[in-house]
A and B are shown apart, each in its own frame.
Chain A
Amino acid sequence: MGITFSDITSSAPLVSLVLFSFLTLIVESWGKDKPVLSYWVSLLGVGVSLALSFGHLGAGIPVFGGMLLQGGFAGYCNLIFLSSAFLTILLSRGYLERMECHRGEFYILILFSTVGMMLMAGALNLITVFLGIELMSVSLYVLAGFMRKKVRSNESALKYFLLGAFATGFLLYGIALIYGTSGTTDLVAISKLFPQLSHNPIFLVGCGLLVVAFSFKIAAVPFHMWAPDVYEGAPTTVSGFMSTGAKAAAFATFLLVFVRVFDIAGTSLSQVIAVIAAASMIVGNVTAVAQTNVKRMLAYSSIAHAGYMLSGIAAANVEGETGILFYLLAYTFVNVGAFGIVSIMERQDDKKLNFEDYEGLSARRPALAVLMTIFMFSLAGIPPFAGFFGKYYVFLAAVKANLTWLAILGVLTSLISVYYYLRLVVLMYFREGDADLDHSVPRRSMIALAIAAISIVVLGLYPSLIVDLTRSFFKI
């Protein structure tokens, strides 16, 4: 059961990213205080891995003795994580330089957490799930507290760490109970045993603990309390990364374990997940209306979006899976972009983060205003943009799985969300104000925002590109 050469080639995106993260670490240790070098090496590493991922979208192959699945589903998820990491790295450099904490460790940690995400999406064994989640989370705890001179950043890191470690306890206990009742941690073997295990109360308790742990990682109600505080206190581009890459990875594992391994369609677990989804939509959207800080608003909006996507998991059918996969890709571009613009607007000491600081932005910075409008329209789910199709697919899946009430609730709460997304657009275009920047926007940040915006428009115009691809993962 040793490692063969074909294991390495089939998992080329993962292996290359691991090697590049080591290289960044060496570069950072060698040349003291030269973060720009780490920036370039990490950008190159993510780029290489991204390029390799496009060649790994075919059939999934189990590698490393059945611990990992590479290609197919995992390959597609890798695209999401790597795009998120790529755009975050591009956007972060200017931001960190302005905030006077530009250090090379930032890029190393982004790479490590991306490796963790890739392990999660490709996991074929509960041990890999555990290690992937931990590698991702431990790097993110540090990233949340990256501005170590700032009390808010410290607080954010401490809260994220304590609650994250708490969730780890539940995850591990869930894994232990599932292992104890099924006698294996191999997901393929568990999926074969699932029909007889699904009546075992201890096994169901284990599944319930896993639902708690995953709901925590995707910030679904009632395990969402950390999200607004952490997103508000963390460096803004890190919040963007956490709300896209980390969330996408948690959803990928959620899908993998609960839909593909435990076929939960029509079971009580599906009902539980539907209730969590409904609660997230309601709490996220209603609380977001009351926010005055844009970062906090985006945090509550990300809770609401977790609710929409969870309705696809509750449905547990092919439409739900493809819908979530499309949604995750669209949401990644939208939210990295939105947090990116917030990071450009932000000043030292958390200034210029409120809604009124965007008044009249279109007069002086028309490009930023247009981009922000695209992101807000897409978040609200207005038709020409990708966000609309994401919602359309997951709600359609819910209707097909006899969860019509969930779909109706989703549409109603989306209507609430239109209010707070469009409020920002109205402030930028129709209100007199002196919103402006006191610095020029670096070209690399504009490139990142443009990539995000173009991807949203393209995905909105040709959603079938992605949907046909993702549907091919489920032909068994």
Chain B
Amino acid sequence: MELQPYLLLSAITFVIGVVGVLSRRNAIIVFMSIELMLNSVNLSLVAFSAFLGDVTGQMLVFFAMTVAAAEAAIGLAIIISMFRNKQTVNIDDINILKW
């Protein structure tokens, strides 16, 4: 099995996620970029797992998916409570505390 293409794709999508987090200003889109990062890692984990013939990697993917879901729920909740108080989800407007 070729390992390189999977790892390359995973690295590319991971970097797209990182750039998204650093450049986008909408909290929801930033969060979607983070999800992209996590899922690109899942791709490399599955590729490694298939390459090594070892199921640990796939098991870790299940845990990563669950954790990502928990984070998504928490993130949505935090963004909603923010929106209720400030009527915005733009990171540049979130500036009472200086970065």
A contacts B directly (C-beta below 8 A): yes
Residues of A within 8 A of B (CB): 126-127, 130-131, 134, 138, 141-142, 145, 148-152, 154-159, 161-162, 165-166, 168-169, 172-173, 175-177, 179-180, 183-185, 225, 228-229, 232-233
Q: Kindly list chain A residues whose C-beta atoms are within 8 Å of the C-beta of B81.
A: 145, 148, 154, 157
B12 within 8 A of A: no
What's the interface size class on B, roughly? Answer: 35 or more
- The complex places the Cα of A233 from the Cα of B97 at a distance, in Å, of 7
Tell whether, in the assembled complex, residue A165 and residue B96 are in contact, meaning their CB atoms are under 8 Å apart.
no
Q: Please list 14 pairs of residues, one from A and one from B, whose beta carbons are closer than 8 Å in the complex, sorted by A's number.
A: A151-B82, A151-B86, A155-B94, A155-B96, A155-B97, A158-B94, A159-B94, A159-B97, A162-B27, A162-B31, A168-B67, A169-B14, A180-B7, A180-B51
B79 within 8 A of A: yes
Tell whether, in the assembled complex, residue B82 and residue A130 are in contact, meaning their CB atoms are under 8 Å apart.
no
Tell whether, in the assembled complex, residue B21 and residue A131 are in contact, meaning their CB atoms are under 8 Å apart.
no
Tell whether, in the assembled complex, residue B60 and residue A154 are in contact, meaning their CB atoms are under 8 Å apart.
no
Nearest chain A CB to B22 CB, angstrom units:
9
- The complex places the Cα of A157 from the Cα of B50 at a distance, in Å, of 38
- The complex places the Cα of A156 from the Cα of B98 at a distance, in Å, of 11
Residue of A nearest to B34 (CB): A165
Tell whether, in the assembled complex, residue B48 and residue A179 are in contact, meaning their CB atoms are under 8 Å apart.
yes
- The complex places the Cα of A141 from the Cα of B34 at a distance, in Å, of 16
B9 within 8 A of A: no
- B residues 18-74 in Cβ contact with A at 8 Å: 18, 21, 27, 30-31, 34, 37-38, 41, 44-45, 48, 51-52, 54, 56-57, 59-60, 63-64, 67, 70-71, 74
Nearest chain B CB to A431 CB, angstrom units:
27
- The complex places the Cα of A148 from the Cα of B81 at a distance, in Å, of 6
- The complex places the Cα of A426 from the Cα of B30 at a distance, in Å, of 45
Q: Kindly list chain B residues whose C-beta atoms are within 8 Å of the C-beta of A179.
A: 45, 48, 56-57, 60
Tell whether, in the assembled complex, residue A141 and residue B78 are in contact, meaning their CB atoms are under 8 Å apart.
yes
Tell whether, in the assembled complex, residue B74 and residue A154 are in contact, meaning their CB atoms are under 8 Å apart.
no
